[in-house]
Amino acid sequence: MIELSALRKVYPSADGPVVALDGIDLSVGRGVVHGVVGRSGAGKSTLIRCLTGLEQPTSGTVTVDGTTLTGLSEKRLRTARRAMGMVFQHVNLLDSRTIAANVAFPLEVAGVPRDRRRERVAELLDLVGLGHRAGAYPAQLSGGQKQRVGIARALATEPAVLLCDEPTSALDGETTRQILGLVRDLRDRLGITVVVITHEPSVVREVCDEVTLLEHGRVVQSGPLTEVVTATGSPLSRALVPVPDLPPEARRDLVEVTYATDDVATRDAFAAVAALGEDVEVLSATVEPLAGRRVGRLLIDAPRSGTDAVVARLRAAGLDPVVTGREAVGTEEVA
């Protein structure tokens, strides 16, 4: 549904060119919810702007629903954009229009006749549970309700792809869960392909099937959520399953273990650690729900027996341990 190939974007600046995207290859299948994570400045926003064609890449191609966007004329690009709906962090509703008129806006742009528009708007507002507020203005709605209107508007032209740019970053926890639930529900009912840009690990855990980690404009890791997360020591497992902070006296070398609870029960993982003897201790640990499974991460300190011996014995117990430095382990502090 979405194909990015060797995508590069370079911005000119006073201090020489800035490479925002440095050769991105990415493929997202139909009906998949794909998360893109990374720190600010990693290239997430540039990526989504290239997907909408608001930004032309320096080189490489963007193909959405069979249409290659790169090199299209502005006129053809405008038509191609109707295959995409976009949800923004700050929603960006028009304050001068009622919410029904806001949802109608993309239909007006697409030249849908008035009667059909009215029907479609009613349908869409019902879909997001706001049918009773059609005549309200955005200023009269809560943040979560506004984002629902934003989603209804994004879906108006029946796009094949829904792009979400930090859709819940301005919302509280409970509202975030409702909005993410709505996104998942829409994917299940409409079969729409979704790309979610976010810096929040919880958003990826709750809604994504696949995830890509960007760093300095490059793809560091990408794949199905459960696979990338259960690979011990992988950057995404650390970013998406952060453990509580380590005690300050923790030593430099630790042993890290990541597992899915349907492969290894948490009690078995702890039993394997207990069997290592008295001086081996779990310094930090977590078990997080993730894509319908539960994923555990342990950070183990072995001052006397040494990390190599611990790794060998944990491996023998069916776990997948790696030796890691305490700076790189991905605690809540850095996530």
Partner 1 sequence: MEGFWSELTSNRVVTEMLPAATLETLQMVGLSALVTLVVGLPLGLLLRSVAPDGLTPNRPVSAVLGVVVNVLRALPFIILAVALIPVTRAIVGTSLGWEAAVVPLSIGTIPFFARLVETAVRDVAAGKVEAARVMGSTTAKVVSQVLVREALPSIVAAFTITVISLIGFSAMVGAIGAGGLGFLAISYGFQRFDPTVLYTSVVVIVVLVTVVQVVGDALARRLDHR
Q: Quick one: 109 or 312, whose CB is closer to partner 1?
A: 109
SS3 category, 146: helix
Q: How near is the Cβ of 122 to partner 1 at its closest, in Å?
A: 19
Q: Quick one: 86 or 280, whose CB is closer to partner 1?
A: 86
- CA quadruple 178, 189, 35, 332: dihedral sign: positive
Tell me the C-alpha to C-alpha distance, in Å, between residue 18 and each of 25, 52, 56, 218, 220.
Answer: 19, 21, 15, 13, 19
Q: How near is the Cβ of 301 to partner 1 at its closest, in Å?
A: 47
Task: Provide the 8-state DSSP code for 142.
Answer: -
Q: How near is the Cβ of 179 to partner 1 at its closest, in Å?
A: 17
Q: How near is the Cβ of 300 to partner 1 at its closest, in Å?
A: 46
Q: How near is the Cβ of 199 to partner 1 at its closest, in Å?
A: 18
Q: Quick one: 179 or 255, whose CB is closer to partner 1?
A: 179
CA dist 106 and 120 (Å) reads 11
Q: Quick one: 4 or 311, whose CB is closer to partner 1?
A: 4
Q: How near is the Cβ of 223 to partner 1 at its closest, in Å?
A: 28
Q: Quick one: 106 or 321, whose CB is closer to partner 1?
A: 106
Q: Quick one: 69 or 311, whose CB is closer to partner 1?
A: 69
Residues that bind partner 1 (CB under 8 A): 52, 54, 78-79, 81-82, 84, 86, 88, 90, 92-97, 105-106, 108-110, 137-139, 157
DSSP lists the bridge partners of residue 322 as 256
CA dist 323 and 311 (Å) reads 7
Plot region of 291 (φ>0 → left; ψ -120 to 50 → alpha; else → beta): left
Q: How near is the Cβ of 78 to partner 1 at its closest, in Å?
A: 4
Burial code (b: 16+ CB inside 10 Å, e: under 16) for 175-192 equals: bbbbbbebbbebbeebeb
Helical spans, DSSP H, in the chain: 44-51, 74-80, 99-109, 114-127, 143-155, 173-190, 201-207, 225-230, 235-240, 266-274, 307-316
Q: Quick one: 168 or 284, whose CB is closer to partner 1?
A: 168
Rg (CA), the chain: 23
CA dist 36 and 48 (Å) reads 10
